[in-house]
Chains A and B, each alone.
With several copies, the nearest count.
Chain A
Amino acid sequence: MGLQQPPALVRRPRFSFQPHDPLRYKPVDTLELLRLNLLSPMVLAFVLGIVATLVHSDLKFPEALYTSLSIYLLLSIGLKGGAELSTTPLTALWKPALATLALGIFTPVASYALLRRWGRFSVADAAALAAHYGSVSAVTFIAAITFMQALGEPVEGFMPTLVAMLEVPAIVIALLIARRGMSGTGSLSEAIHEIFAGRSILLLAGGLFIGFLSGKKGLEQIAPVFVDSFRGVLVLFLLEMGMVAAKRLRDLSKVGFFLLAFGVVMPVFQGMLGVGLGSLAGLSLGGATVLGTMAASASYIAAPAAVRIALPQANPSLYLTAALGITFPFNLALGIPLYYAISRWLHATAS
């Protein structure tokens, strides 16, 4: 770290999703994968957050800190993706983009049907849940990227573009379904503006744009903050997320068994679909894993804000508890390694 630093070949490059991580090694079996994930500082920090809430600790993240960390994480992901994009042929993008759009259209419809038919939810509640599960959770995406990095598994640089593309359509579709099925809903146009101008899309897309225009040289200048510090900041953020998720767990009894099962089964189904479509679209092992995770994740930033405005009849306890209290921890702890295992299996049989 000093001035006289010796030959630097081994240094992790700062701006790449294709990490040549010195820690990298490919674990062979799924149990080992799981252990690796569960004992990572990120997942452990999430567990600590849960514990903090369970023991009623007075530990509380200032809201300004939470907001600052999320601004940082979104911008950082965008910047790195953009810098990567600046050296990627854009022709590689269209197939995965189509796969993403397909996911964004199909999954909310499937969720809605399931929740109405078998779950007997009201139109408003079913549509609200469909919006959340069709959209994507940026933090889960980030966790997947980070896990791939820890495994030394290359991931396409344009993935953040896909996140921006997956975030919107499902919410719009779910809201449209709700309109058809009921009257007296809130303002759809306001809700759509809320999503497009929402900070998650703005920061992701803005970061992509800055990273793309200023290129790898530009990113290099700001790498100590936006690249090197990424995982450490993620640890802090997941500590907070643990506290939030644990608070949600208190409402678990209110949401009923069906939603509990839905919160675990639906991600697995959507995750498999995502891995499959991603692989078909030519994504690498790591890329397909990440797309699967994206499909499996439930939004809890963009969707709740839009749904609260456009569908005030829906009960926030239901969608927040399912997305934050059930699906997020599930994906973080078990889902991601599972989608990776599936992707590995797919890619092994394919080649």
Chain B
Amino acid sequence: MDGSAPLDMHTVTLKLLTIVAEAVLEDRLIRDLKRLGAKGYTLTEVRGEGSRGVRSSEWEGKNIRLESVVSPLVAERILSHLAEAYFPHYAVIAYLENVEVVRGEKYT
């Protein structure tokens, strides 16, 4: 059986949107996500380094990773909003993957 073969079980292909951003944005990002159509999210406290240097303590500012399973449409809407509202001044990275979700209807 090929590793990437489809499953028998009923799953729906959706987008997993991952946003890593400075922690100060937590409330705002969550508000935006909900407003733009995400039905839920999972949040992890992380550290990181990128073009804006190391981000790992209270003062450097920690990072959060927000993950949300959304429809492609919602994904696109959120990405556009991020690009406009946060990319210029804040430490943010965002990317999408395809995921096969059980009970996928719940999340669209």
Contact = CB atoms under 8 A, between A and B. Distances in A.
Q: Do A and B come from one complex?
A: yes
A244 B24 contact: no
Contacts of A247: 57, 60
A231 interface: no
Contact of A63 (B22, B53, B57, B89): B57
Interface residues of A, number: 18
A116 interface: no
Main secondary structure, interface of A, reads: helix
A312 B89 contact: yes
A262 to B, nearest CB: 19
A329 interface: no
B72 interface: no
B50 to A, nearest CB: 14
Contact of B89 (A67, A244, A313): A313
6 contacts: A67-B58, A248-B59, A309-B24, A312-B89, A316-B61, A320-B59
Contacts of B60: 247, 320
A67 B59 CA distance: 12
Interface in B31-86: 53, 57-62
A244 B90 contact: no
A312 B59 contact: no
Interface of A: 63, 66-67, 190, 244, 247-248, 300, 304-305, 308-309, 312-313, 316-317, 320, 324
Nearest to B45: A63
Contacts of A324: 59
Contacts of B62: 63
A63 B59 contact: no
A244 B59 contact: yes
A327 to B, nearest CB: 14
A19 B22 CA distance: 44
B55 to A, nearest CB: 10
Interface in B1-36: 22, 24, 28
B97 to A, nearest CB: 28
B24 A305 contact: yes
A247 B90 CA distance: 21
Nearest to A251: B53
Contacts of B61: 308, 316
A304 B59 CA distance: 8
A67 B58 CA distance: 9
